[in-house]
């Protein structure tokens, strides 16, 4: 039977009527019951598996604390979904690829996956530089790309406000950008450390690090204009020796040091700083520090300010109040022997955003939807995740609350956790710039 084409206006109007049911569905991946299409709308589903390409760092300094946990989550969730019958009856054929090799390598891989391998969707990318190069290929190549982690705020923003919405038709980011991390840190400093007088920064010398510091510094200038910046340091990505940087930081004597170091860089910096006595003199504010107490272990220093890149934490939301997080933490720990970290939660968001977008679109068109129809259905989608609710906005960004706290040693775990007495969740409207408004412009317009 020939497929009936549904116009954009009709699709968007219809999508609004089923979004709530699909967005709220899915504890533990349960199937969604949707209305049946009319006979004229019915399409047959392909018999072949869904080719899902998952891309993250599988080798190198970013692999162990970051890329491999994300990829492990993809594998675990693919098994869960396949055991439950797949997506609309189609099983997932998960294809894992390494993000190592730099921008040129990832551009070539993306072209191969979309044009030659004919994958149904790409879920991937950690590096902001890779995302900035690859996501524009979604429209150029006609392939659906859902970026699961890349953090730079400029990925979906234009040069000035208001910017074009959406920037890409087939490109998405299924989580919030770095604005929430660094704005959240600034709010946290103002609330818990109001007497500080100086700050400094040590951030990787590329888009992620530069953008993270820009947002943190801009927010600090609005919230605590008396605080002085005493220095900024920009080590190259994948630096192995931070001792010169640490010595310089100790000489500058800042009260707080902001850092967007991640992966192996964050672990290396922390261990070297511990050996040099740095934490006896200054306090760190890690914009994405949540994985590293578990990576470093029991010796990780207390009283460090840590952001969770959203509300992504194995102890939050509380298991007695949010069963999906309980299931996710227990399933991951049983399978891999570690607690899930925020890359794991981001992988969940990407996988289930795709799943629910397919199901939402299929409810409207009566069978397996086209890539364009899946993209239409993803806009405005709201789903339950182990971290709480995630919504995909019309600018193709996910928006989230953000959780922050201070590291504290407890007897129950072999590494410091976030002190339960000083956990803070800043809601999405406080840390996500409105659609069409650049993050920097929004912060500068705050009335404080």
pLDDT profile of the chain (448 residues), mean per 10: 42 38 34 41 87 97 92 98 98 98 97 98 95 97 97 93 96 98 98 98 95 98 98 96 98 98 94 97 96 96 98 98 98 98 98 98 96 98 97 97 98 98 97 98 96
Q: Which residues contact 102 (CB under 8 A, 6 or more apart)?
A: none
In the block, tokens 């700050």 appear at: 199
The partner residues of 351 in beta bridges, in order of sequence, read: none
Tell me how far apart the alpha carbons of residues 173 and 132 are, in angstroms, rounded to a whole number. Answer: 11
The closest alpha carbon to 96, from 80, 75, 76, 77, belongs to: 75
pTM for this entry: 0.91
Angle between helices 371-378 and 342-365 (to 10 degrees): 110
- How far is it, in rounded angstroms, from Cα 19 to Cα 408? 41
Residues 208-225 have pLDDT tens digits of 999 999 999 999 999 999
For residues 307 and 313, what is the distance between their CA atoms, to the nearest angstrom?
10
Q: How far apart are CA 261 and CA 395, in angstroms?
A: 27
Whether 216 and 159 have beta carbons less than 8 Å apart is answered as: no
Looking at 3.50.50.100, 1.20.5.510, 1.20.1300.10, 3.40.50.2300, the CATH number of the domain 8-177+318-399 comes to 3.40.50.2300
Question: Which tens digit of pLDDT belongs to each residue from 17-30?
Answer: 333 333 333 333 33
Helix (H) or strand (E) holding 221: helix 207-223
For residue 11, what pLDDT is reported?
39
pLDDT of residue 41: 59
Domain ranges of the chain: 8-177+318-399, 179-315+401-444
Q: What is the pLDDT of residue 31?
A: 34
Q: Homologous superfamily of 179-315+401-444 in CATH?
A: Response regulator (3.40.50.2300)
Contact residues for 194 (Cβ-Cβ < 8 A; gap 6+): 224
Q: Could you give the strand order of the β-sheet that contains 388-392, starting from the edge strand earlier in sequence?
A: 382-385, 388-392, 398-399
What is the 8-class DSSP label of residue 368? S
CA distances from 139 to 109, 134, 143, 317, 372 (A): 16, 10, 7, 36, 10
Closest CA to 256 of 220, 225, 288, 291: 220
> Could you tell me if 182 and 215 are in contact, meaning their C-beta atoms sit under 8 angstroms apart?
yes
């Amino acid at each position: 039977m020939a497929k009936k084409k549904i116009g954009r206006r009709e699709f968007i109007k219809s999508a609004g009527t089923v979004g709530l049911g699909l967005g709220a569905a899915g504890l533990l991946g349960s199937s969604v019951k949707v209305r049946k299409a009319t006979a004229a709308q019915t399409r047959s589903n392909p018999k072949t598996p869904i080719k899902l390409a998952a891309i993250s760092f599988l080798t190198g300094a970013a692999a162990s604390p970051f890329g491999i946990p994300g990829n492990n989550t993809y594998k675990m969730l693919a098994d869960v979904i396949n055991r439950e019958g797949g997506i609309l009856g189609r099983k997932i054929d998960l294809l894992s690829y390494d993000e190592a090799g730099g921008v040129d390598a990832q551009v070539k891989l993306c072209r191969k996956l979309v044009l030659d391998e004919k994958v149904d969707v790409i879920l991937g990318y950690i590096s902001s530089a890779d995302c900035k190069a690859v996501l524009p290929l979604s429209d150029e190549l006609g392939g659906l790309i859902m970026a699961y982690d890349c953090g730079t705020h400029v990925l979906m923003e234009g040069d000035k406000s208001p910017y074009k919405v959406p920037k890409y038709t087939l490109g998405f980011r299924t989580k919030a950008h770095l604005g929430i991390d660094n704005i959240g840190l600034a709010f946290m400093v103002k609330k818990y450390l109001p007497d500080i007088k100086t700050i400094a920064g040590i951030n990787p010398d590329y888009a992620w690090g530069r953008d993270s510091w820009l947002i943190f510094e801009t927010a600090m200038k609005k919230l605590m204009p008396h605080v002085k910046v005493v220095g900024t340091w920009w080590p190259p990505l994948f630096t192995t020796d931070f001792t010169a940087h640490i010595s310089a930081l100790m000489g500058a004597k800042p009260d707080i040091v902001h850092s967007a170091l991640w992966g192996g860089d964050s672990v290396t910096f922390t261990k070297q700083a511990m050996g040099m006595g740095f934490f006896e003199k200054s306090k760190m504010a890690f914009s994405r520090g949540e994985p590293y107490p578990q990576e470093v272990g029991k010796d990780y220093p207390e009283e460090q300010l840590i952001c969770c890149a959203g509300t992504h934490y194995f102890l939050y939301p509380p298991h007695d109040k949010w069963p999906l997080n309980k299931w996710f933490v227990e399933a991951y720990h049983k399978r891999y022997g570690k607690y899930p970290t925020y890359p794991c939660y981001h992988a969940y968001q990407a996988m289930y955003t795709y799943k629910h977008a397919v199901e939402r679109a299929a409810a409207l068109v009566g069978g397996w939807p086209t890539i364009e129809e899946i993209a239409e259905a993803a806009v405005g989608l709201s789903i339950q995740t182990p971290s709480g609710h995630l919504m995909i906005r019309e600018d193709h960004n996910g928006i989230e609350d953000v959780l922050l706290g201070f590291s504290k040693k407890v007897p129950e775990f072999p590494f410091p956790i976030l002190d339960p007495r000083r956990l803070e969740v800043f809601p999405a409207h406080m840390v996500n710039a409105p659609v069409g408004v650049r993050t920097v412009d929004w912060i500068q317009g705050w009335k404080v």
